[in-house]
Structure 1
Amino acid sequence: MIQHWNTVIDYLTAKEEVTGKYDLAILAGNSLPYLADELIALYKLGKADNFMLVGGIGHATPFLQKNFKNIGFEVSTASETEMYLDYFKQRYDLDAQLFLTETTSTNSGENALFSLNTIKAESLNPKNVLLLEDPILQRRINATFEKEWRETNAVFTNHVPIIPYVKTVDEKVIFEDDRLNGLWSKDYFLSLVLGEIPRLRNDVNGYGPKGKNYIGALEIPEQVSQSYEKLCQVYDYRQKR
């Protein structure tokens, strides 16, 4: 079954090559502190003109707080963005004023819409935008931003530092990259991976134009669909978010 997991995960992450400099880098709310570190690495290298944190309180919020605590940082409970800001101050001595911020969005659609409103309020017009998100949600966040920002003609690039390929999925999920172990509970991991394919479909139940119309029509390769169906036959998954 590991091959089926990794086939689906590889599709969901939609990793792209990151080259040159970007007008804007956006970290969307998620549960993974290492992505906050990655944003700061990009900041220190001058990889973007502006850096933005997007996220209020959503399904990832309690997991993000727990993961920060597990690495020794007590952070705000107000929003995911404010957790990042607390972490940046404690670990890197970087002030909140260095970042564009959005603190009220609760899902991917609001991440995209509210960040666009923030950009407009700042009179910015970024054309090349780097997106960081939980890699399992990366394909959908990209599609969501493309739809909500379509009037801007911005081009979005997925920045996926680590693809979370798995080695075992038993009582716990063990990843090929040891740095990821423990960042997702098994239940949360299953809800993310197995919950994404139905959302990405362009049918009456999906997020595409034939359904909720949150994203454009995406093509899901047959191999990915087959692997997803194999997983659903084995794992007792119920949508929890």
Structure 2
Amino acid sequence: MDINSLAKIIWDYHHMNHKVEKADCIIVLGSHDTRVAVRGAELYLNGLAPIIVFSGGLGRLTQGLWAKPEAHIFSEIAIKAGVPEDKILIEDRSTNTGENVLLARELLCRKDIIPSSVIAVQKPYMERRTFATFKKQWTELNVMVTSPQMSFEDYCDNNPSKDIDRDEIINIMVGDMQRIALYPRKGYQIYQEIPDHVWNAYEQLIKLGYTKQLIAEENIKESYHGRGGEGDTGGTDG
């Protein structure tokens, strides 16, 4: 299979394909991709939640790329799209997905907002890891995950982040695949089943050199027990 076909297998696996319904809150997780902010604003303006939280400081991909925290840039996009400023909450300290969840929850608690359901908005290839993190860190919450609605080709070809090309996107997707396998044992996420054809595509992409976003971890497949079992508990992800 060619690189594009292998990448699309990983892309499809990362999607949760949730049906988005009305919720108590929208939580938009920060990143380099401003299309995520546009998607969050769209959901709010369509009446799917009464309040929207933007969560994100500067992470591994935006440190040195942006001068302001992700949450501030995303909120400015939402306000320009028509979201009222008084319906926006900003969490600007988080640097990874686990902190996005925990610090957004703390912020809502300080505002005496205790949601029973949220719509989490993330990049398309981070839907599954976002879902798995929410279900570990905020177990009682009903979470629906969504992302900008586009194909892999459109996502790569129309990326507003000029510093992140198709190869870099594939590197990031492969890195997220590894984290889905590894993080349940570290206690950062719930376990997610990985079908054999997805794992095989992941391994082939690694052989082809897509290793830039991998965590240094020996014997990742063995540590995942052949993709089975949740492992230890506790911690936030990296």
Using the size of structure 2 for normalisation, the TM-score is 0.79
- Is residue 116 from structure 1 mapped to residue 105 from structure 2 by the alignment? yes
- The question of whether the paired residues in 2 share the 8 Å contact of 1:26 and 1:53 is answered with yes
Q: Which residue type is aligned with residue 140 of structure 1?
A: R
Q: Which residue type is aligned with residue 82 of structure 1?
A: H
Structure 1 stretches lacking a partner, 5+ long: 66-76, 167-174
**Structure 2 CA distance for partners of 1:214 and 1:101, relative to 1, 3 Å:** same
Provide the rounded CA distance (Å) in 1 between the counterparts of 2:169 and 2:53.
26
- The question of whether the paired residues in 2 share the 8 Å contact of 1:195 and 1:239 is answered with yes
**Structure 2 CA distance for partners of 1:32 and 1:133, relative to 1, 3 Å:** same
Of 11, 25, 28, the residue aligned with 1:9 is: 11
Provide the rounded CA distance (Å) in 2 between the counterparts of 1:14 and 1:63.
31
CA offsets, 1:69-122, max 9 Å, x none?
A: xxxxxxxx2311111233334x33655432121010000110011011111111
Secondary structure of 1:78 counterpart = coil
- Is residue 220 from structure 1 mapped to residue 209 from structure 2 by the alignment? no
Using the size of structure 1 for normalisation, the TM-score is 0.78
- Is residue 98 from structure 1 mapped to residue 87 from structure 2 by the alignment? yes
Of 144, 148, 170, the residue aligned with 1:161 is: 148
Q: Which residue type is aligned with residue 80 of structure 1?
A: E
The structural deviation recorded for 1:62 is 5.5
Secondary structure of 2:183 counterpart = coil
Structure with bigger strand share is 1
The sequence identity of aligned pairs, in percent, is 25
**Structure 2 CA distance for partners of 1:234 and 1:141, relative to 1, 3 Å:** same
Of 174, 198, 208, the residue aligned with 1:194 is: 174
Question: How many aligned positions are there?
Answer: 212
Q: What's the counterpart of residue 218 of structure 2? A: none
- The question of whether the paired residues in 1 share the 8 Å contact of 2:178 and 2:214 is answered with no
Deviates more, 1:139-148 or 1:79-88: 79-88
- The question of whether the paired residues in 2 share the 8 Å contact of 1:30 and 1:64 is answered with no
Of 207, 211, 228, the residue aligned with 1:237 is: 211
